[in-house]
């Protein structure tokens, strides 16, 4: 619902592309003119004393997931903390409660308000609001700036908005009483959308849980109801059909094709070259050769041992451990990075059955137990090769793979529909927020028109 402003207070051009028109009594200013800009910092990791007796809340990218849904405004507690000594010996500063933080690297554009005094890492730009701007209003402004942030982001690997561009950010600025009405209006109206979003995201989570449960049951128990089971005396599989074997993954691969990771240093991305699969890409929709990074034929030739063939499996061993995908025909001859491992199923092992077996909960739990690494967690090839699986005869593998493919597709179909509706709700959320903070919707008139009228004769 768009409500016009009264005559004499019409909309005028702001002179800022992302803002467009604003009411004539509003200002358009650089954010740093109404809020003090502060950057964050990380104390030196090489000085152990800086990381002892940590009790100062420290905002890092680990906290961003709390704000991905767009519902949360305030950050009360942080995942990480730093020490007083670390704070004193770094560029970080303790910022007051009410400071607005904005992520400017990796997950760019997520904003929130500090619920207590906090410091932040260098991944954030922070604003201590002055008398002319409310922290809540500023957060809603930042949440309206997705297109502007996309324009300013730089970097091929990790997208970043650099501080000179942060200092240049501009915002619409209504009078404070009007900011208060805008914040109140958005809190009320966005809460309705938030409630629906929460329900739908909960449904997505339940669909994923159902998928995992179906996979685990079929992989560990089979789909033949009359099968006799036997106790395995195994930590991961209590009972399996008695005609199945328990085997290590290394025994399920082709004899002369070992389980290996790939290129350690693929070099700069090439316009033309050999595509490779890296961490975070073991999903079918991400395996478009046009979207994958490419290395030179010379570098790829040095890693002929990890060259991919159609129908092999790629398993993520670092980062998002446990994702696994089948190599499509268009990636025959491609390669890997050290974050992924190639598994080539031997004769008698159905590829799709093995794919689902590697996605099963017991196998994932085995890899979880063996995760290691301080910076990027992962499992090593020794532990991956020794992972245990219950292995049915080949004809039963085919039955299980066929059953799970059907289950997988049915769940994916429902999930896609729900995710599409979530995207539409988020677009509505974004559109409403931008229309209100730029004055395209006159909140005062909207609220007045919503009030019941006294129709006494």
Model-level pTM?
0.74
Residue that is written with structure tokens 């990380």 in the block = 42
Please report which residue ranges of 225-310 form alpha helices under DSSP H. 297-302
Q: Which helix (H) or strand (E) holds 111?
A: strand 111-114
Angle between helices 176-221 and 394-437 (to 10 degrees): 180
Q: What is the pLDDT of residue 449?
A: 56
pLDDT (tens place) for every residue of the chain, 457 residues total: 444 444 446 889 999 999 999 999 999 999 999 999 999 999 998 999 999 999 999 999 999 888 876 678 999 999 999 999 999 988 889 999 999 999 998 788 899 999 999 999 999 999 999 999 999 999 999 999 988 999 998 865 568 899 999 999 999 999 999 999 999 999 998 888 888 988 999 999 999 999 999 999 999 999 998 889 888 888 888 889 999 999 999 999 999 999 999 999 999 989 899 999 998 888 888 888 888 999 999 999 999 999 999 999 999 998 788 899 999 999 999 999 999 999 999 999 999 999 999 999 999 999 988 776 544 578 899 999 999 999 999 999 999 999 999 999 999 999 999 999 999 998 998 899 999 999 999 887 776 555 543 443 3
Q: What is the pLDDT of residue 280?
A: 86
> Residue 174 corresponds to which tokens in the numbers above?
């209504």
Residue that is written with structure tokens 């693929």 in the block = 266
Q: What is the pLDDT of residue 1?
A: 40
Q: What is the pLDDT of residue 157?
A: 57
> Residue 190 corresponds to which tokens in the numbers above?
């966005």
> Residue 169 corresponds to which tokens in the numbers above?
């950010």
CB atoms within 10 A of CB 423: 10
CA distance 295 to 311: 22
- What CA dihedral angle connects 179, 185, 191 and 196, to 10 degrees? -120
Q: What is the pLDDT of residue 448?
A: 58
CA distance 299 to 118: 46
- Determine the Cα angle at 79 with ends 75 and 84, to 5°: 95
Q: How far is CA 3 from the centre of its chain?
A: 37
- Determine the Cα angle at 193 with ends 187 and 199, to 5°: 125
Q: What is the pLDDT of residue 285?
A: 85
- Determine the Cα angle at 175 with ends 174 and 180, to 5°: 90
Ordered structural domains, the chain, with CATH: 29-173 (3.90.220.20), 245-391 (3.90.220.20)
Q: What is the pLDDT of residue 85?
A: 93
- DSSP string computed for 122-187: TTEEEEEE-TTS-HHHHHHHHTT-HHHHHHH-B-SSS-B--HHHHHT-EEEE--HHHHHHHHHHHH
């Amino acid at each position: 619902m768009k409500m016009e402003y009264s005559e004499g207070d019409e909309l005028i051009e702001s002179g800022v592309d992302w803002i467009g028109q604003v009411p004539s009594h509003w200002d358009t200013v650089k954010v740093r003119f109404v809020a003090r800009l502060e950057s964050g910092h990380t104390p030196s990791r090489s000085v152990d004393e800086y990381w002892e007796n940590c009790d100062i809340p420290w905002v890092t990218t680990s906290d961003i997931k709390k704000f991905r849904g767009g519902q949360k405004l305030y950050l009360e507690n942080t995942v990480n903390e730093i020490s007083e000594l670390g704070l004193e010996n770094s560029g970080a500063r303790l910022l007051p409660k009410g400071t607005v933080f904005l992520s400017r690297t990796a997950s760019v554009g997520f904003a929130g308000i500090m619920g207590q005094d906090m410091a932040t890492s260098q991944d954030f730009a922070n604003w201590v609001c002055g008398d002319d701007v409310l922290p809540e209003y500023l957060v809603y402004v930042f949440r309206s700036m997705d297109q502007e942030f996309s324009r300013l982001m730089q970097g091929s690997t990790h997208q970043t908005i650099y501080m000179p561009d942060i200092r240049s950010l501009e915002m619409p600025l209504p009078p404070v009483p009007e900011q208060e009405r805008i914040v109140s209006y958005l809190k009320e109206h966005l809460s309705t959308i938030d409630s629906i979003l929460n329900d739908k995201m909960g449904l997505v989570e339940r669909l994923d849980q159902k998928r995992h449960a179906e996979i685990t049951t079929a992989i560990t128990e089979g789909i033949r109801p009359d099968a006799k089971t036997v106790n395995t005396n195994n930590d991961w599989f209590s009972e399996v059909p008695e005609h199945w074997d328990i085997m290590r993954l290394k025994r399920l691969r082709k004899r002369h094709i070992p389980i290996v990771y790939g290129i350690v240093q693929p070099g700069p991305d090439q316009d033309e070259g050999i595509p490779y699969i890296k961490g975070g890409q073991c999903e079918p929709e991400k395996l478009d050769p046009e979207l994958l990074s490419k290395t030179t034929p010379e570098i790829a030739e040095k890693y002929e041992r990890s060259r991919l063939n159609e129908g092999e499996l790629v398993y993520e061993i670092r980062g998002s451990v446990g994702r696994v995908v089948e190599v499509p025909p268009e990636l025959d001859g491609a390669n890997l990075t050290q974050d992924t491992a190639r598994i080539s199923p031997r004769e008698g092992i159905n590829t799709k059955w093995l794919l689902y077996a590697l996605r099963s909960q017991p196998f994932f739990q085995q890899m979880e137990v063996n995760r290691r690494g301080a910076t990027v967690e992962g499992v090593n090839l020794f532990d991956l090769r020794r992972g245990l699986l219950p292995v049915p005869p080949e004809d039963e593998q085919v039955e299980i793979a066929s059953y799970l493919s059907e289950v997988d597709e049915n769940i994916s179909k429902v999930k896609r529909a729900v995710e599409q509706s979530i995207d539409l709700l988020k677009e509505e959320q974004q559109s409403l927020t931008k229309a209100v903070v730029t004055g395209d919707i006159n909140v005062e008139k909207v609220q007045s028109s919503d009030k019941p009228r006294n129709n006494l004769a």
